[in-house]
């Protein structure tokens, strides 16, 4: 075969689409209950948007972006994440003026040139939320509760919430110095990437996946020692509000998240049955990003959840949509027009109608009706057309009855 999907990308086939739609419906419905509005932004943006916000020395920007130079010389990138595009849109359209508390959610594809493996693709999908305008802990908790609610609704078990606070400006600066002081003696044991990060962004070393680096950071100073009083009380409120909602969490001092723009609360939902790629959802507060990208200082918080990983651990309900479906068996060219008209009328009344367009024989159409699992077939042949009647066959019981054509919709709607 000449053309196949590109490495790390997948077709979502009809047999899987039910699960996707189920997940999407839950996201729309629950985000709606929390008063969030959907936002859709383009799949490509100015490269600078990502290098500036996500950070130059992150994996995403340094090696995972699909970027190219446009014919007019602009530098464009397929979006590797959606927070920066949503922030761009928030600033561009003055959304903060329209509503002092903007609550947005999104669903869409993202692109990262990573090594493909289970739960890791080059085109993948996320849903997420971004809220602009509140610096208070109840906003962090509402966002976490929303994610938690969606996972519960989807029947995802064995999922746990990890929580940390990486503080604000002063705290980050102090902790940065403390971490550099602690890590410098181990410099030669660190990977090349971490050695570089020691100078550019030492906090990111805490995010390492290399076992011997993990061992080293076991004894690293704790960020909680660098919290300001405000950071501390903010984080204590987040915790007590979560407890008040009966949302269990574990504190994780090393949870700094991969991207540069976070402040204070950071969190991650991990699913025990996913193996190595266990992070289902990551998020937190990012009070400086709007200003960094040229907007008015605006506190913000949000999360992004990986849909492929959620689907791997989601309990799917049976694919019965409860709709009555009918197979319209039509026999011969002479009845085509009438068959199409009948199908349209039934469909306008909310009934699912399958209709043969391959001009197959009666037996083949019956076989198809059974394969599709329809319970009733309507048979229209030349004889029926002449008498303005059709046969209705109960495919389970095998019984058949004749009814007047103009009674058909009524017959099925009851
Ligand atoms: P990881 O540590 O697994 O690489 P990340 O920190 O890069 O995750 P985020 O950028 O926070 O992930 O994205 C949020 C979520 O999106 C992740 O928790 C994960 O569920 C999902 N995700 C990230 N990258 C991929 C990918 N390449 N393929 C599928 N899902 C992904
Ligand atoms: Mg990653």
DSSP 322-374: ---EEEEEE-SGGGHHHHHHHHHHHHHTT-EEEE--S---HHHHHHHHHHHT-
pLDDT at 409: 87
Instruction: Give every residue of the chain whose pLDDT is below 50, as ranges.
Output: 321-322
The finding on whether 107 has its CB within 6 A of some atom of ligand 1 is: no
What phi, psi does 114 have (nearest 5°)? -105, 175
Ligand nearest to the CA of 120: 1
CA of 126 to the centre of ligand 1 (A): 9
The finding on whether 140 has its CB within 6 A of some atom of ligand 1 is: no
- Closest residue CA from atom 26 of ligand 1: 120
Rounded to whole angstroms, how far apart are CA atoms 397 and 48?
Answer: 66
Whole-Å CA distances, 195 to 2, 64, 117, 169, 202: 44, 20, 27, 23, 9
**Torsion of the alpha carbons at 285, 288, 290 and 292, rounded to the nearest 10:** -140
pLDDT at 157: 82
- Closest residue CA from atom 29 of ligand 1: 120
Atom of ligand 1 nearest to the CA of 128: 14
Beta strands (DSSP E) in 33-186 are: 37-38, 44-46, 67-69, 75-78, 102-111, 123-132, 159-165
Helix count and strand count (H, E) for the chain: 16, 16
The finding on whether 352 has its CB within 6 A of some atom of ligand 1 is: no
The tens digit of pLDDT for each residue in 234-256 reads 999 999 999 999 999 999 988 88
The finding on whether 204 has its CB within 6 A of some atom of ligand 1 is: no
pLDDT at 323: 57
The finding on whether 306 has its CB within 6 A of some atom of ligand 1 is: yes
The finding on whether 126 has its CB within 6 A of some atom of ligand 1 is: yes
CA of 411 to the centre of ligand 2 (A): 56
Q: Given ligand 1 and candidates 81, 282, 286, which is best to mutate, with the most ligand atoms within 8 Å of its CB? A: 282
- Closest residue CA from atom 1 of ligand 1: 279
The finding on whether 121 has its CB within 6 A of some atom of ligand 1 is: yes
CA of 161 to the centre of ligand 1 (A): 16
Ligand nearest to the CA of 117: 1
Rounded to whole angstroms, how far apart are CA atoms 38 and 129?
Answer: 9
Element (H, E) at 250: strand 250-251
pLDDT at 96: 96
The finding on whether 380 has its CB within 6 A of some atom of ligand 1 is: no
The finding on whether 282 has its CB within 6 A of some atom of ligand 1 is: yes
The alpha carbon of residue 229 and the mean position of all alpha carbons in its chain are separated, in whole angstroms, by 35
pLDDT at 319: 56
CA of 379 to the centre of ligand 1 (A): 52
User: What pTM was computed for the model?
Assistant: 0.91
Rounded to whole angstroms, how far apart are CA atoms 202 and 207?
Answer: 10
Rounded to whole angstroms, how far apart are CA atoms 16 and 71?
Answer: 38
Give the residue among 315, 324, 289, 320 at the shortest CA–CA distance from 394: 324
CA of 380 to the centre of ligand 1 (A): 54
What phi, psi does 96 have (nearest 5°)? -70, -25
DSSP 239: H
Quickly list DSSP for 399-410. -EEEEEGGGHHH
Three-class SS string for 191-237? CHHHHHHHHHCHHHHHHCCCHHHHHHHHCCCCHHHHCCHHHHHHHHH
CA of 80 to the centre of ligand 1 (A): 10
């Amino acid at each position: 075969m000449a053309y196949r999907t590109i490495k790390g990308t997948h077709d979502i086939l009809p047999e899987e689409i039910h699960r996707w739609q189920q997940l999407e419906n839950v996201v729309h419905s629950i985000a709606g209950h929390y008063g969030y509005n959907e936002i859709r932004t383009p799949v490509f943006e100015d490269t600078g948007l990502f290098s500036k916000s996500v950070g130059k020395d992150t994996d995403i920007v340094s090696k995972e972006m699909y970027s190219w130079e446009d014919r007019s010389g602009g530098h464009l990138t397929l979006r590797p994440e959606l927070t920066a595009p949503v922030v761009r849109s928030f600033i561009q359209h003055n959304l903060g003026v329209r509503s002092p508390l903007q609550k947005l959610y999104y669903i869409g594809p993202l692109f990262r040139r990573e090594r493909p493996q289970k739960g890791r693709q080059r085109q993948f999908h996320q849903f997420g939320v971004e809220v602009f305008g509140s610096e208070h802990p109840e906003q962090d908790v509402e966002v976490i509760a929303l994610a938690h609610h969606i996972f519960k609704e989807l029947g995802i078990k064995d999922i746990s919430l990890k929580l940390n606070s990486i503080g604000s400006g002063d705290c980050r600066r102090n902790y940065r110095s403390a971490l550099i002081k602690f890590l410098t003696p181990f410099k030669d044991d660190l990977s090349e990437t971490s050695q570089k990060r020691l100078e550019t962004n030492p906090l990111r070393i805490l995010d390492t996946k290399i076992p011997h680096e993990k061992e080293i950071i076991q004894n690293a100073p704790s960020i909680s020692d660098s919290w300001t009083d405000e950071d501390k009380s903010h984080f204590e409120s987040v915790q007590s509000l979560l407890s008040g909602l009966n949302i269990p969490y574990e504190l994780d001092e090393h949870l700094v998240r991969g991207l540069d723009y976070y402040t204070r609360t950071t969190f991650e939902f991990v699913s025990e049955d996913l193996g190595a790629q266990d992070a289902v959802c990551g998020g937190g507060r990012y009070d400086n990003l709007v200003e960094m990208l040229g907007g008015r200082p605006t506190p913000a918080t949000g999360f992004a959840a990986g849909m492929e990983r959620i689907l791997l651990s989601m309990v799917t309900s049976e694919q019965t949509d409860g709709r009555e479906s009918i197979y319209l068996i039509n026999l011969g060219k002479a009845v085509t027009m009438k068959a199409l008209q009948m199908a349209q009328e039934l469909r306008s009344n909310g009934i699912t109608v399958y209709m043969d367009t391959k001009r197959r024989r009666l037996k083949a159409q019956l076989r198809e009706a059974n394969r599709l699992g329809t319970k009733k077939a309507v048979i229209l042949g030349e004889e029926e057309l002449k008498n303005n009647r059709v046969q209705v066959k109960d495919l389970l019981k095998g019984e058949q009855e004749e009814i007047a054509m103009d009674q058909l919709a009524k017959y099925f709607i009851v």
